Amino acid sequence: MIDAHAAFASPHVTRREEYAPPDWMVPEIALDFALDAGATRVKARLDVRRNGAHDAPLRLDGAGQQPLSVSVDGVAVNDWRIEGEQLVVPLSGAAHVVETEVEIAPDRNTQLMGLYASGGNLCTQCEAEGFRRITYFPDRPDVLSRYRVTMTADKARYPVLLANGDPVGAGDLDGGLHWAEWHDPFPKPSYLFALVAGDLAVNRGTFVTRSGREVQLGIWVREQDLPKTAHALDALKTSMAWDERVYGREYDLDVFNIVAVDDFNFGAMENKGLNIFNSRYILADPDTATDYDFDAIAAVVAHEYFHNWSGNRVTCRDWFQLSLKEGFTVYRDQGFSADQGSAAVKRIEDVRGLRAAQFPEDAGPLAHPVRPESYIEISNFYTATIYNKGAELIRMMATILGPLKFRAATDLYFDRFDGTAATCEDYVACMEEAGDVDLSQFRLWYTQAGTPRVSATLEHHAGSGRATLRLAQHVPATPGQPSKSPMVLPLKLRLFGAETGAPLTDEQLILLDETSESVTFETVAERPILSINRGFSAPVVVESDRTAADLAFLARHDDDPFARYEAMQQLMLDTLVAATIEGQADHRAVIDAVADTLANEGLDRAFVAEAVLLPSESFIGDQLSVVDPDAIFAAREALRRDLGRSLAGQWRTAYDLAGDAPYTYSPQAKGLRRLRSVALGYIAASGAEDAATLAFRQFERADNMTDRQAALTTLANGDDAEREAALDIFYNRYADNGLVLDKWFQTQALSARDDTPQAVALLAEHPDFTLANPNRARSLIGAFSVNQRAFHAAGGAGYRFLADQLIALDKLNPQTAAKLLPPLGRWKRFDATRAGLMRAVLERIVAVPGISKDVLEQASKSLEG
């Protein structure tokens, strides 16, 4: 209470420019845990070394606990003091042994940071600043230590005791207790510390590394979940082999364990040798997980595994460098996923995600550079900008260098910084050195926020055969950054002939690094059509003078699958924006392009399914000066209905393509299922009389969750009698499966029905709804707040609902509460009435006594705009 109030008065701002090396290093630490859910005793023995010439005392971070004892070199001392939450110990020499003891209460830890209880087991989450909730320590990533961990616990309740590194001993004790000791030979920062104690079963595997080392793999879950771990174990082995092949990175310990827990603030955590996962990214079988879930599991398993090098062996000097490990690791996991199936579809999904989450962030009050300059609460900076835009920065550097030099540059980086805490600058310097390029101007990508806008116009003089492409860039102002410098934009482009459909040039890479530039092409015999930002080579918005006919042409003829998808999206977007503003639009070009795409048998079905999907309501909103949620919804529904009716026969064909073949998990089978789901959506949108019957039949007969959930989603959007029946059947069938119940909540929160706001308010009272579980909170509240029309329904009930839930959640779990806030920060994009209602709830949140600094930072920045 008191601390939160102090934060309200003047929250402490951490600034990048204030970085100073640690006063004391801690090369070795020994931890001794007497584990108990109600009261755990933690003894810590720190070997501390004075770093540089100074006489500063040792300052150890803590949070929530009190020291029970402090000793220096084996002698109890009492000249320590508490300043803020730090334990300050005066020390005279250059090296000492400092021991502390504290008591903590895992079962009262609802923040899920530090040591906490989940499903009767004990586990930890230390990134970013959770270790200080376990013991006193310099809790900053540039203090690297070798850890020795001993755990003692009740053997019946916690038969499994895991920690980082390798197991070095275990045994039984009197009174039903047992102990285990683990030792991690690799120095690591405290945020990578982990332990797990619980009643867990294991799916074991082995992996033999390139150099012949045999690694014992283990996926630890509740006994009854063991049958759902095969996919994750498989993905782990595939990831290990992929990192050896593609980046030359081998695993370095004898064991690699993953534990799944139900209560988790994030997706998963890369703790050295002991990854801890949100169970939604481990558990899967065809009956309970969709194709999307299977893919997400493989991607997150790969992501956390890849952190062993990009994050653990080379870690971050300070939290401003977060994208050093996250942007790079996302880039690595994207490459992995692209290699498992269709690279084009993977790129489409990643760009769609970037546009849905990062572009709005970059355009709003919470915009920040990939390397931020300041923060109040670091957990608020685990954002789409750090992760996904950060990955785009790495991708652009890879594009500029080309594959061979990029690999040489990552080798240099891993080699040079192994065992150290590095910076984004260190990474870029390796790219420059091994790539033999000058990235001085490119570095602006790390410091300037905002999504660059590129305008492209192409002129052709038939007589001279010369074509001139004029490019100009503009980076919009963002909070604290009113004016910007031109950036380096790597744009892949190619020209196609309007008459012949043939390519007129090779693909070229242009580095646009001025405010405006022209590029000239000679001997262009026919009217050229511009294909630009192919593969989404730069994370920018392109504004071109291409007509609907040009876009339709590219949708048919472009040889870059991403550009083809993009042309289709732009055509749809232009049509939907016109329809939103004018109340109607000519749908013909879109209908023809969709018809051709569906009919093109040369295209992979997964690609077709993505290409025929309309842009989301919020993406349409992002194109407008004032978002009109009802008009957008109406325009989009009208186009869906028209597409559904005009192409009725083709949707039926696409729907039937998957046939009745039993479930298999292959890229082909996934593509057919995806197309079937999309087709079902269009059949329902057409108003076809049998749509609900068709959906319900699919719902009942499905032998997998992908088809079942697609049918449920379709029914949940309508008001046929089958709707309630399907929701009830689904609920009853999966009443004891939390992850599937999340889908039940989410599907209703995303419904296109008029009564969704009221339905969501009722669901918040459902006996299965709880704010204590982050997945459940996100499945209802998070999903609702991205359902544009429902959340922004006139009157502001959606805003008040979100604020009420967020304030309640903040008392339990500030980190998760703060992540639900950003939709309220978009008030500037809406009409005055909605903006006023959104601001009113933000004001209310800011005024809540004792509100966390997590939520306070997000809400006050959102108000400032």
Closest approach of ligand TRP to the CB of residue 429, in Å: 24
Considering the rule CB under 6 A, would residue 270 count as an interface residue with ligand TRP? Answer: yes
**Which residues pair with residue 117 across a beta bridge?**
122
Closer of 326 and 617 to Zn ion (Cβ): 326
Q: Which stretch binds Zn ion (CB under 5 A): 57-65, 314-322, 323-331, 748-756?
A: 323-331
**Count of H-run helices and E-run strands, the chain:** 31, 31
The reply to whether 379 sits near ligand TRP by the rule CB under 6 A is yes
The answer to whether 304 is a known catalytic residue is yes
If residue 148 lies in a helix (H) or strand (E), which one and from where to where?
A: strand 145-154
Choice between 326 and 350, CB closer to ligand TRP: 326
Nearer to ligand TRP, 302 or 763 (CB): 302
Residue 415 CB partners (closer than 8 Å, separation 6+): none
Q: Which is nearer to ligand TRP, 184 or 326 (CB)?
A: 326
CB burial string 459-471: b at 16+ within 10 A, e below: ebeeeeeebebeb
Q: Which does 128 bind (CB under 5 to 8 A by kind): Zn ion, ligand TRP, none?
A: ligand TRP
- The whole-angstrom separation of Cα 790 and Cα 755 is 8
Determine how many CB atoms are found less than 10 A away from the CB of residue 450: 19
Tokens of 512: 């646009």
- DSSP H or E segment with residue 31: strand 24-34
511: number of Cβ within 10 Å? 17
Residue 524 in the binding site for ligand TRP (CB under 6 A): no
Please state at what angle helix 403-417 crosses helix 424-435, rounded to 10 degrees.
Answer: 130
Beta strands (DSSP E) in 18-176 are: 24-34, 40-50, 58-60, 69-72, 75-76, 81-83, 86-89, 95-104, 114-118, 121-125, 145-154, 160-163, 166-172
The 289-328 contact track toward ligand TRP, x by CB under 6 A, reads --------------xx---------------------x--
Q: Out of Zn ion, ligand TRP, none, which partner does residue 262 contact, by CB within 5 to 8 A per kind?
A: none
Question: Which residue stretch of 245-253, 260-268, 396-404, 494-502 sits at the interface with ligand TRP (rule: CB under 6 A)?
Answer: 260-268
Which is nearer to ligand TRP, 265 or 531 (by Cβ)? 265
Q: Per the structure block, which two tokens stand in for 443?
A: 């570095």
Bridging pattern class, strands 86-89 and 24-34: unpaired
610 binds ligand TRP (CB under 6 A): no
Q: Name the residue whose CB lies closest to ligand TRP.
A: 266
Position 266 contacts ligand TRP (CB under 6 A) = yes
Residues 66 to 125: which contact ligand TRP by CB under 6 A? 125
Binding partner at 127 among Zn ion, ligand TRP, none, C-beta below 5 to 8 Å by kind: ligand TRP
Residues in the chain: 865
Q: Which of 376, 340, 467 is nearest to 13 (CA)?
A: 376
User: How is residue 220 written in tokens?
Assistant: 């630890």
CA 783 to chain centre: 15
Amino acid at 677: S
CB of 407 to ligand TRP, least distance (A): 24
Q: Using CA atoms of 347, 350, 351, 353 in order, give the dihedral in degrees to the nearest 10.
A: 160
Q: Which entry of Zn ion, ligand TRP, none binds 265, CB below 5 to 8 A by partner kind? A: ligand TRP
Q: Phi then psi for 710, rounded to 5 degrees?
A: -60, -40
Q: Which residue among 32, 36, 61, 127 contacts ligand TRP (CB under 6 A)? A: 127
Options 101, 129, 304, 566, the catalytic residue: 304
Q: Say how many CA atoms lie within 13 Å of 143 toward its Cβ.
A: 28
Please, what is the minimum distance in Å from the beta carbon of residue 278 to ligand TRP? 9
128 in contact with ligand TRP (CB under 6 A): yes
Q: Determine if 261 is a binding residue for ligand TRP (CB under 6 A).
A: no
Question: Min. distance of Cβ 132 from Zn ion in angstroms?
Answer: 21
CB of 572 to ligand TRP, least distance (A): 33
Choice from 24, 116, 359, 382 touching ligand TRP (CB under 6 A) = 382
Answer with the entry of Zn ion, ligand TRP, none that 266 interacts with (C-beta below 5 to 8 A by kind): ligand TRP
Give the whole-angstrom CA distance, residue 422 versus residue 429.
Answer: 11
Site size toward ligand TRP, by CB under 6 A: 13
Binding of residue 139 to ligand TRP (CB under 6 A): no
* Main-chain dihedrals φ then ψ at residue 319, nearest 5 degrees: -75, -10
Strand 528-532 with 489-497, pairing: antiparallel
Residues that bind ligand TRP (CB under 6 A): 125, 127-128, 265-266, 268-270, 303-304, 326, 379, 382
Residues that bind Zn ion (CB under 5 A): 326, 329
Q: Which residues are catalytic?
A: 304
